[in-house]
A and B are shown apart, each in its own frame.
Chain A
Amino acid sequence: MRSVRNLYLIVSAVVAVSLLAGGLAQWLNSGTEEGRRFAGYMQRVPVASACCIVGAVGVIWLGWYWLKLAGAITSMAKRLKQEKLHKINFNERIQDRDTDEIKPRDEARVKLNHNALVDELSEVIDERLGDYSNIIGRLEKQINDLQIQIQLTQRQKGHIEAIIYGIHDAVIVIDEFDRLLMANEAAGKLFNFNFESAQHRRIGELIHEGKSEFTDFLRHTRQSKAQPTRKEIEFSEDGEPKTFDCIVSCIYDENRQVCGVVAVLHDITREKQIQQTKNDFVNHVCHELKTPLASINAYSEMLTDGEAKDAQTRKEFYSVIRSQAKRLNGLIEDILNISRIESGLIKVDKGPVSLTILIEEQLQMIKSYAEEKNICLKDIGQSRVVFDRVYGDKDMISQVIVNLLSNAIKYTPSGGSVKIETEVDETADIARLSVTDTGIGIPENEIEHIFDKFYRVSTNKKQAEGTGLGLNLVKQIIEKVHDGRVFVRSKPGQGSTFGFELPLATRNVVESLPTAGRAQLR
C-alpha cells in the first residue's frame, strides 16, 4: 500500500514540476521586463521545453491509469456478485503489508493488490448487505405482526363497543380527571346528555343535582383506588323514582396507577318492586294462615283446660275449630291455585264450554247454602238455548262461577236475592256472565282493590269470613288463563254485580278441534 502511495507521490511531483515550468514559460512570454530577461537566459537552456513534455506525458499516463483502475474495480465487483471467491485472510494480509518495507512495485503487482482489496471490500459489503437484508426481513415480519395485532385490537375494540352500546345497562367511563371518555346510549338517556357533545367534559357538569350521590361514589372509588365496589343508588328518571345497582371499577395503567373509572348502572327498580311484593305476599300469607291457626289453638286449649263449662259451649268450641280448620285448608288451596296460575304450571284443558250448563251444575251445588241463609237464587238464562259457548277450561270456569255465587250469598243478608244471568254479544264475539246480589255492597273507594290478593272490604269483615283470595282467583282464571275480562259494579247498601266476559267459541274453533276435543262439548 505504501509503495503505491510513493508511486503516486513521484508521479504527482513530476506533473507539478512540469506544470510549474509551463507556468514559468507563460510568465516569461507575458511581456514584463524581468520575464524577457529571464526568458533570454532560459532560451539558452532547453529545460523548459523538456519539462513541458514530461508534464504532459505524466498527465496522460495518470489519466490512463485511473481509468483502467476504475474499470478493474467495476468488473471485479460484478464478478464477485456472480461467484463466491475463496476466502483471503484479510487481517493477515493487512499485517503482512504493514510489516513489509515499501519497495517499488511494478504495475501488475499494484493492480493485483488493488483487485484483492476490492474483493475483500466487496465481500465485507456483501456480508453487511446480507445482515441488513436479515434485519429488514425481521422488521418486515414485525411490521406484519403489528399490523395483524392492530387489526385484532380494532376488532376487539369493535366488539367491546358493540357490547357496551348494545347492553341495556348504563355504562360510563371517565378518566383520572373525571372527564367523560365513553358512555353508551342508556347512560346518555339516564343522565340526559349526548355522548358526542359530552365527551371530555367533566362528569360533574354533565350529571346534575339529584344524582350527585352517583358522582360522589365515582370520585370516592377513584380516589380510594378501591376494588370493584357496589352500591344501590336511588334517583329519578323521567320523574319516576328508580333504584340502580351501581358497580364501579378502577382502570389501571401500565404503572398500576388509576387512570380512570368505569361504572355500570343496572336498573333494579322492577326487582325491588317484585321483592317488595313477594315480602308483602309472604307477610300476608303468614298473617292469614296464623289467624285461623290462632283460633284453633286457643279453642282447643280452652277445651283441654275445661274452660268450656257446659255442653253447648263445648259444641260451639268444636264448631269454631272445625270451621277454622276448613278456612285454613281453603286458604292453602287458593294460594296454591293462584301460585300455579301465576307460574303457568297449572294444567289447562280448554274446549268449547256452555256457560248455561255450567251455571245449572253450580246452582245445584250451592242451592243448600242459599237455602240455609234464606236467599232466593234466580237463574235468568236458564231457559236460554245453549248458544253461550266459550272456549275454556270447564273446571276453572266452574270454580269462577261458584266463587262469584258463594260471595254473593255470603254478603247478602237473609231474605235477599242473588241472580245469575248470561248474555251473548255476537257483535263483540263475547259471552258475558254476571252475578247480582242485594247485599251490603262495596264502598266506592274500595272497588278498585276488590280483586287484589288478600284484600277484604274493611266494613264487610264482620259480615262473613274470607281469605281475600277468592276474587283474585277469579281474576287470574278469567284474565290470565282465558284472556277474558272481569268487572264489578256496586253501591253500598244496594248490592253488587260481579261478572266476566269471555270470547265465544267460534264455529272455526269448534270445527278445528280434533274429535276428542269436540267430544268434550257439553
Chain B
Amino acid sequence: MSKKRVLIVDDEIHIVHVVAIKLRNNDYEVISADNGAEAFELARSEKPDIIVTDFQMPVMTGLELVEKIRQCDVTKDIPVIMLTARSFAVEDQQKEDLQISQCLSKPFSPKELLEDIEDILYHRAVVNHQV
C-alpha cells in the first residue's frame, strides 16, 4: 500500500519542519510550500491526499488557497485542515462552504494534528469504498 501524501503549507519554516518530521515518522509522504500560489501548483501537480495549510500567508492567504482548490476539478475533493494563529479567523459558514474538514488554532499539538489527518483519511476511505 502506497504512502499517503500530505501537502503542508506555511510561511513559518519551523512549523513545516516539525509537522513534516511527525508525519514522516508515521509513514506519510510530505511535500511543502511556503505560500498559497506555490501550494496550489503543487496540489495540482502532486495531487496530495490531504492539505494542511496556515491561514495567514503572503501572496495568497489560506482561505484564498482553499477557494482556488475547490474551483479546480483536479483538486476540488482534497480534504483541507486549516491552522490559524488568529481567533475566529474562519467562520462556520466559510468552513462549511469551502468544505474545510478541520480548523486547528496555534499553538497546536503535532500529535493531535496527526490524529485528525488519520481520522479524515479513514472516513474518506470508508466513503470511497462504499461508493
Contact = CB atoms under 8 A, between A and B. Distances in A.
Interface of A: 283, 286-287, 290-291, 293-299, 301-302, 305, 307-309, 313, 320, 324, 456, 458-459, 461-462
Interface in B17-72: 17-19, 21-22, 25, 34-35, 56, 58-59
Interface residues of B, number: 26
B86 A283 contact: yes
A308 B107 CA distance: 19
A496 B100 CA distance: 41
Contacts of B111: 301, 305
B31 to A, nearest CB: 17
A246 to B, nearest CB: 29
A293 B18 contact: no
A9 B34 CA distance: 138
A283 B19 CA distance: 24
A287 B22 contact: no
Contact of A307 (B21, B56, B85, B108): B21
A291 B54 CA distance: 11
Interface stretch (B7-15, B74-82, B90-98, B117-125): B7-15
Contact of A302 (B13, B107, B110): B110
Interface centre among A287, A309, A320 (most CB of B within 10 A): A287
A456 B34 CA distance: 15
A295 B11 contact: no
Contact of B106 (A294, A302, A324): A294
Contacts of A301: 109-111
B107 A298 contact: yes
A301 B34 CA distance: 23
B2 interface: no
A53 to B, nearest CB: 133
Contacts of B107: 290, 293-294, 296-298
Contacts of B128: none
B18 to A, nearest CB: 4
Q: Is the interface of A mostly helix, strand, loop or mixed?
A: helix
A446 to B, nearest CB: 10
Contacts of B11: 461-462
B109 A291 contact: no
17 contacts: A287-B85, A291-B12, A291-B15, A294-B15, A294-B107, A297-B108, A298-B108, A298-B109, A299-B14, A301-B109, A302-B22, A307-B110, A320-B18, A324-B14, A458-B59, A461-B58, A462-B11
Given A286-B87, A305-B111, A298 B59 contact: no
B85 A291 contact: yes
A286 B34 CA distance: 21
A347 to B, nearest CB: 33
A313 B22 CA distance: 12
B106 A293 contact: yes
**Which A-B residue pairs are the 7 nearest by beta carbons?**
A458-B58, A297-B107, A290-B85, A294-B106, A294-B107, A295-B14, A287-B85
A290 B106 contact: yes
A287 B13 CA distance: 16
A456 B57 CA distance: 11
A293 B107 CA distance: 6
A287 B88 CA distance: 12
Nearest to B87: A286
Interface centre among B17, B19, B105, B107 (most CB of A within 10 A): B107
Given A291-B106, A298-B19, 8 more contacts: A294-B106, A295-B14, A295-B18, A296-B107, A297-B109, A298-B109, A302-B18, A459-B58
Contacts of A309: 25
Contacts of B13: 462
Contacts of A295: 12, 14-15, 18
B40 to A, nearest CB: 16
Interface centre among B14, B22, B59, B107 (most CB of A within 10 A): B14
Contacts of B109: 297-298, 301
Given A298-B109, A301-B110, A458-B59, A307 B25 contact: yes
A298 B15 CA distance: 8
B26 to A, nearest CB: 9
Nearest to A459: B58
Contact of A294 (B21, B35, B87, B108): B108
Contacts of B58: 456, 458-459, 461
Contacts of B34: 461-462
Interface centre among B15, B17, B85 (most CB of A within 10 A): B85
Contacts of A286: 85-87
Nearest to A283: B86
Contacts of B85: 286-287, 290-291, 294
A287 B18 contact: no
A299 B18 contact: yes
A455 to B, nearest CB: 11
A296 to B, nearest CB: 7
A462 to B, nearest CB: 6
Contacts of A293: 106-107
Contacts of B87: 286
